[in-house]
Every structure is written in structure tokens, then in C-alpha cells.
């Protein structure tokens, strides 16, 4: 197809956002958008561009003392009657407008229009963020080409509504199991009902008081919830097993081992199996580039209540934060949209930060 990312479109982050939204890129179908982005970047003389799968990386090599990364994922969740984009006053509607093609537009716009940034910049556009981590382009490149991601600081252009959201929470899923003894339901006193036994597990969850932690001035509120329950054998059998799946969102001052220890303390006396875990990321606001970025934003940061790929950067020893124009509460919604004014304000902020003094 003819590349819709023309020079006129690339010069305007709003027009660029809409053009990116109108390239369908549901997870595992990122080739078309990656092709367009790669074609644009390879034509820019001040950039060196590489591609791995449907992940595209371009970088300046100006000999600056520090290097920063601007990163955004190219994929979206499945379409929901919200493609292509549409405009209603100051709002742009469409799949990916908030999460996160408006953020991707920031990076692509700057890559093309800012030949002499104050830092060396790596522009990173990756596939597979919205699905299982085995498809995540950031994860895949970290394994295959870790040198592509070497930097002093990173900005993940996820939706934050124009506010810096620092670090991120860790997340852990675990299954708490109650056991009993099967019996005919007509003679239930001969058995032990494992589903009834789950009542105490649920009572502990209902009474749980979430910890609140402040790190580098950023508040994080933990949460622990039952998200799924499974039990039962048949309509006339007292069940001998019940499984309660619990999701624990923990502050980034806890590592996965500490999070698991806390879960086991809460559910002492029950069998517990951890099924999935991802470490969080500390705010990382002490990095000089981070301090200068906060000054450009001009507003106090808040803690990220959720998990994002800043944790992958943190695992590589790279301080990172989240910043983008979209409203995170609209991500994955049928009526997903972004405010035009937020796109323009955020683009101006990034330009203030990166433009030479």
C-alpha cells in the first residue's frame, strides 16, 4: 500500500496520530504499520535504523553524554466497531487513539523533525505488547539485541493523560486451594464441602487492608482481589476441591519473593500456588534526564497504579517512566479517544525537553 505517513502528516503530531490509527495493527498483525514506520525512518539521514520482526528501532549517534529511549508499542487490542478513526470536536476516536498511537506519534514526529536533540535518542517502536509476553517486541529485542536498548533513561509513551506516572506496580497471580471430601449431596454430612471452605479465604480478602506506600513522592496503593473461582463436580456431589484465583498488585518496593511471602502470610493454612508474576519498577526519578524531563512537564509525578513495560527497562538497569496524552481509563474501550489539545501539549513538552538549549 502507499505509505500514508507523508512528510506533511509527519510534521503534525495530530495528523500523524490519525494516520497511525487508520493503519489496522491488532496484535500479531503489525507488519503493515511496521513497514510504514521503517520506510519513514530509513529515509531520515540523521538516524540509523534496524528492524527485528515487526519491531523497528532508529537512533541518533551524535556523541552526546547521555542517551534516552522513547518507546511505544505499535499493536492494539481487537477492533470493536471503532475503526477507522473519527473526529468529534476536540476528540479523536478510534482503536489505539489513547493506547497508544498518540504516544507513538510523539516519537515518530520527533524522530523526523528533530535532527540535533540534546541527548542521543533511541526511538523504539515494538510489536506484541497487548498479548502474551512471548510476543512482546521489547522483550524479544532485549534477548536478541540488548545493545539496541542501552540507555541512561527511558520514556514509555503509554497513556497517562499528560501526567508523569513513575515506575509501576508489580503483579502476581496465585491459586488458593481448599480441599474437602466428596459425598452424595443427599447425605452431605458424610463429606466436607470444599466450596464452603472457601468462605474463610474470601473473608480474609474482604477484610484485607491494602498497603499504601510513598516512594520518591509517588503514592502506590496495593490491592488484593479474588478474580476467579472454580469448584464443583456435579449437581448431586459435595465437592472436594475449590480453587480461588487471587491477583495481588504490589508496590515496587517489594520484589516478587517478598510479594509471595506476603500472600502466603495472608493465606496461612491453605495451599497456595503462584501461577504468574511480574516485578514492578521503582520511580527512577533521580536520573539527571528524568529530572530535566520533570522540569519540562512542570507538574509533580504520580505513581503508576498498574504494570507497564517500564518494568522491563528497570530490569535492564534503565530508569524509566510513563508519559502520554491518552486517558488510561479509556484504553481498550469501544469509545476510546484522545483529546487533540493533549496531543499538542505533550508534543510541545517533549520538544522542550529534547531540543538543544
Asked whether residue 288 carries a pLDDT value surpassing 80, the answer given is yes
349 and 253 within one domain: no
How is 232-273 classified by DSSP, letter by letter?
Answer: -S-TTEE-SEEEEEEEEEE-TTS-HHHHHHHHHHHTTTSEEE
Report the percentage of the chain scoring pLDDT > 90. 97
Among 297, 301, 299, 300, smallest CA distance to 352 is for 297
349 and 323 within one domain: yes
* pTM across the whole model: 0.90
What's the mean per-residue pLDDT of the chain?
96
The residues pairing with 181 across neighbouring beta strands, listed in sequence order, are: 192
Which CATH number fits the domain that encloses residue 289?
3.40.630.10
Residues with Cβ within 8 Å of residue 194, at least 6 apart in sequence: 178, 179, 180, 231, 239, 240, 241, 242
Which CATH number fits the domain that encloses residue 178?
3.30.70.360
Sheet with 337-339, strands from edge to edge, namely 86-88, 91-93, 337-339
Q: What is the pLDDT of residues 296-330, one digit of tens each?
A: 999 999 999 989 999 999 999 999 999 999 999 99
Q: How many CA within 13 A on the CB side of residue 279? A: 14
> Among 278, 311, 343, where does a domain finish?
278
20 and 145 within one domain: yes
How much is the pLDDT for 133?
86
2 within a domain of the structure (yes/no): no
Q: What is the pLDDT of residues 13-39, one digit of tens each?
A: 999 999 999 999 999 999 999 999 999
Answer for the pair 180, 194: CB distance below 8 angstroms, yes or no.
yes
> Among 222, 243, 278, where does a domain finish?
278
User: Structural domain tally of the chain?
Assistant: 2
189 and 84 within one domain: no
273 and 245 within one domain: yes
3-state secondary structure 264-302: HHHCCCCEEEEEEEECCECCCCCCHHHHHHHHHHCCCCE
User: Strand, helix or coil at 160?
Assistant: coil
Residues with Cβ within 8 Å of residue 294, at least 6 apart in sequence: 164, 285, 301
The secondary structure of residue 188, as a DSSP letter, is G
Question: What would the mean pLDDT of 91-106 be, rounded to a whole number?
Answer: 98
240 and 228 within one domain: yes
Q: Which residues are catalytic?
A: 75, 129
222 and 75 within one domain: no
SS3 content of the chain, % helix, strand, coil (to 5): 35, 30, 40
Band of the pLDDT at 87, cuts 50, 70, 90? very high
Asked whether residue 1 carries a pLDDT value surpassing 80, the answer given is no
User: Strand, helix or coil at 61?
Assistant: coil
How much is the pLDDT for 284?
87
186 and 294 within one domain: no
User: To 10 degrees, the CA torsion angle through 256, 260, 265, 266?
Assistant: 100
* Enclosing domain of residue 90: 7-167+281-354
Asked whether residue 357 carries a pLDDT value surpassing 90, the answer given is no
- Give the largest Cα separation in the chain, rounded: 82
55 and 113 within one domain: yes
266 and 214 within one domain: yes
Phi, psi of 354 (to 5 degrees): -95, -25
> Among 278, 305, 332, where does a domain finish?
278
1 within a domain of the structure (yes/no): no
Question: What would the mean pLDDT of 184-200 be, rounded to a whole number?
Answer: 96
Amino acid at each position: 500500500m502507499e505509505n500514508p505517513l507523508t512528510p506533511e502528516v509527519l510534521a503534525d503530531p495530530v495528523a500523524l496520530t490519525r494516520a497511525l490509527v487508520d493503519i489496522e495493527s491488532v496484535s500479531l498483525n503489525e507488519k503493515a504499520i511496521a513497514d510504514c514506520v521503517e520506510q519513514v525512518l530509513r529515509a531520515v539521514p540523521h538516524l540509523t535504523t534496524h528492524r527485528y520482526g515487526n519491531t523497528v528501532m532508529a537512533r541518533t549517534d551524535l556523541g552526546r553524554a547521555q542517551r534516552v529511549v522513547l518507546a511505544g508499542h505499535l499493536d492494539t487490542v481487537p477492533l470493536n466497531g471503532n475503526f477507522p478513526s473519527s473526529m468529534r470536536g476536540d476528540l479523536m476516536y478510534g482503536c489505539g487513539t489513547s493506547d497508544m498511537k498518540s504516544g507513538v506519534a510523539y516519537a515518530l514526529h520527533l524522530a523526523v523533525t528533530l535532527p540535533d536533540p540534546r541527548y542521543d535518542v533511541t526511538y523504539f517502536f515494538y510489536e506484541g505488547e497487548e498479548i502474551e509476553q512471548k510476543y512482546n517486541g521489547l522483550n524479544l529485542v532485549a534477548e536478541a539485541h540488548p545493545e539496541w536498548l542501552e540507555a541512561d533513561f527511558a520514556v514509555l509513551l503509554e497513556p497517562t493523560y499528560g501526567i508523569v506516572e513513575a515506575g509501576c506496580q508489580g503483579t502476581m497471580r496465585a491459586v488458593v486451594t481448599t480441599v474437602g471430601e466428596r459425598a452424595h449431596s443427599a447425605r452431605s454430612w458424610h463429606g466436607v464441602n470444599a466450596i464452603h471452605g472457601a468462605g474463610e479465604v474470601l473473608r480474609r480478602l474482604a477484610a484485607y487492608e491494602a498497603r499504601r506506600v510513598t516512594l520518591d513522592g509517588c503514592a502506590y496503593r496495593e490491592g488484593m482481589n479474588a478474580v476467579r473461582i472454580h469448584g464443583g463436580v456435579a449437581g448431586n456431589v459435595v465437592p472436594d476441591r475449590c480453587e480461588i484465583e487471587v491477583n495481588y498488585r504490589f508496590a515496587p518496593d517489594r520484589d516478587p519473593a517478598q510479594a509471595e511471602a506476603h500472600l502466603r502470610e495472608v493465606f496461612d493454612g491453605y495451599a497456595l500456588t503462584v501461577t504468574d508474576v511480574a516485578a514492578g519498577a521503582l520511580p527512577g526519578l533521580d536520573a539527571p534526564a528524568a529530572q530535566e524531563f520533570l522540569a519540562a512537564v512542570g507538574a509533580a509525578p504520580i505513581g503508576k497504579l498498574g504494570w507497564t513495560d517500564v518494568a522491563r527497562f528497570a530490569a535492564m538497569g534503565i530508569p524509566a517512566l510513563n508519559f502520554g496524552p491518552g486517558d488510561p481509563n479509556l484504553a481498550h474501550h469501544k469509545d476510546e479517544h484522545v483529546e487533540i489539545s493533549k496531543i499538542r501539549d505533550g508534543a510541545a513538552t517533549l520538544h522542550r525537553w529534547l531540543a538543544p538549549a
